Structure 1
């Protein structure tokens, strides 16, 4: 938690120093729990953290009498807020890429990599759609697609489709806009996330709806098709009905979803990212598999990996949580918590 919290200060500093126009907004984030079992688990977890002496100075429990007034979410059974942020990631990446190109980086777009092989010399051979090249060191920052070119990560990092929509606020919420980011948490491991934009039309970016398709392994697991506007009709209806269903006094406005799209997330078998040098494949480095939680993790993970690649540090665990580090043990374990979650969701779907 503390590592993720550090990302906000690091990103604020980066955006300020580089003068990046990317809609960076520091605000409060709200976790709202709307089903009894997970609400009880969340409260118990917070109380245990307090008992263990953990830092909870930025985690504010919402008083039960204030659930609706603070969260504006119906049927909240438990809620907390903490410092959060939102950003326009494309604008951020576009700015940084432009700066790197200005400094001499050779950026090759529309160039598919089909394989990467470590040679006996210690160099790497990279086969692309436009020819083969050699490199002394390679960083695989290919997230969901990493296993296609790093076979040792097969079944360790898998592509998972996600679906997102843009919603125009109702009249009531135009007059009194949402200011926090949200995670609306329901049964099992399901949650839906929201980023109310604080500029322009103040549209709301809503993503999730995994409960509508996670139980279907063929759709959910190892699927890199992002050509769909939405995953299925059920997920489309879920997102269209979400705001009036869950937000107090939304009203009868029919604006609804203006856009829907899908994207591919890199999920891992143990639900933690892989960062560091590939075991037994020196000079090959990975930063991938962020399980849909890249924004509060990637920046400082990337900085740590660059320090390792450039020899500024000897051990990456000095800078990132040890469970993130790619190890032989993580690669060899047969456990797959992601498949377990799919099985659990299937049970929940067929018993609810």
Structure 2
């Protein structure tokens, strides 16, 4: 399914992260929309919730009217459909980033991601958010000659970067050490580094509850159809429930950004992916537990990711070989109301036993299988900042399936720009994240190439 404008579709597939049927997802603070607001946030996922959090956290001297409009229900987009990983990505794209942005630019990205671990730990503890946050280690296993070679080259380059703060956190395991520590017998090389995992919806809910107590007006099932620029420089936000005038607007819309900001057509592309929840059947004699979260790297484009939850169940996503060759099924596709046609459920039903030594002999089943729409950026980096020549319209989107260690502090930067007039260059954002006119004009779309789509076309 492909649409001319990528608006969210109704009735998405059931994600494990929404399995508790929490009625908070339907929140409407008031019966009707206000006619005016100071700041309007489009989107009630991680980016929208983090934006509201930082606005209220940092606004000490003035009452602030903030309205949040969500097309569907709270956290029903990519955040509520991801793998639950809080995992900085130290090295997998390092060589490309160093080539494009130099040693400092590449290091700034890695350092920024690493900061998210302590920042999210602190806010979860400060607000006492019950979101199953666990700080642990990530273990990336590399299964092919190409994956191993790419990892070694990236690490060699990273070791020579004087600006990087993350190298001391990385452990390299080779040969038998890699296989024993990772519990992945097929891996000749593994890397471990600090990471975490959590229940994404509950984290977003906790941020929003903090904001609601301070005056946030949250309106779900209220799709923004169009944004009109008025003569006084303010914006008129048009919805089927009425229109709202706002001084400032934040587009926390990820994959759906180009639906209301056409400048991002072919800059932020909707990409459909899939994820699952695996549980033990009742007749298991024991419950193995993995000490790490995982990235399973067969090559750069073909990998899976998983977390081991405290009850022993697994959330795992990926499965690209099952659908990547069918471009129409995933590229520029916003249909998360349907599954892929391939039998991905069967693949995941024995995935753990087929890959991990400690899971041999166990019996599992897939009780949740869902799809979600990722906002792939054409240069693999988010777009953060004020729209060129559109004052007070801010964008926080295009997180390329890697938002958990990038969104929170990017939202802080937007808040500083709005509340204190700080220039985007002075917010601490990595320079490559910054939304500029030149970046919009010059960036070219390499998504099909970098996802490995052409590899499947060659096979055909």
Q: Same fold (TM over 0.5)?
A: yes
Note the 1:1-352 alignment, pairs <5 A.
1-53=110-162, 54-55=164-165, 56-169=167-280, 174-198=286-310, 201-228=311-338, 230-333=339-442, 335-342=444-451, 344-348=452-456, 350-351=458-459
Residues 174 and 288 (structure 1), Cα distance of their counterparts in 2 relative to 1, 3 Å cut: farther
For residues 24-78 of structure 1, give each alpha carbon's deviation from its aligned partner in whole angstroms, at most 9, with x where no partner exists: 1100011111111111110121122113344410000013221221101131021
Aligned residues: 348
Q: Distance in 1 between matches of 2:393 and 2:375?
A: 19
The answer to whether the Cα contact below 8 Å between 1:72 and 1:247 also exists between their aligned partners in 2 is yes
The answer to whether the Cα contact below 8 Å between 2:277 and 2:368 also exists between their aligned partners in 1 is yes
Q: Distance in 1 between matches of 2:416 and 2:305?
A: 33
Q: Distance in 2 between matches of 1:190 and 1:136?
A: 44
Instruction: State the secondary structure of the residue aligned to 1:313.
Output: coil
The answer to whether the Cα contact below 8 Å between 1:165 and 1:260 also exists between their aligned partners in 2 is yes
Residues 139 and 207 (structure 1), Cα distance of their counterparts in 2 relative to 1, 3 Å cut: same
After superposing the two structures, state which structure 1 stretch, 138-147 or 249-258, moved more. 249-258
The answer to whether the Cα contact below 8 Å between 1:172 and 1:251 also exists between their aligned partners in 2 is no
Task: Tell me the TM-score normalized by structure 1.
Answer: 0.93
The answer to whether the Cα contact below 8 Å between 1:216 and 1:346 also exists between their aligned partners in 2 is no
Residues 345 and 248 (structure 1), Cα distance of their counterparts in 2 relative to 1, 3 Å cut: farther
Residue 335 of structure 1 deviates from its aligned partner by 1.3
CA RMSD of aligned residues (A): 2.0
Instruction: State the secondary structure of the residue aligned to 2:112.
Output: helix
Larger RCO (CA within 8 A; separation ≥ 6): 2
Instruction: State the secondary structure of the residue aligned to 2:420.
Output: coil
Residue 318 of structure 1 deviates from its aligned partner by 3.5
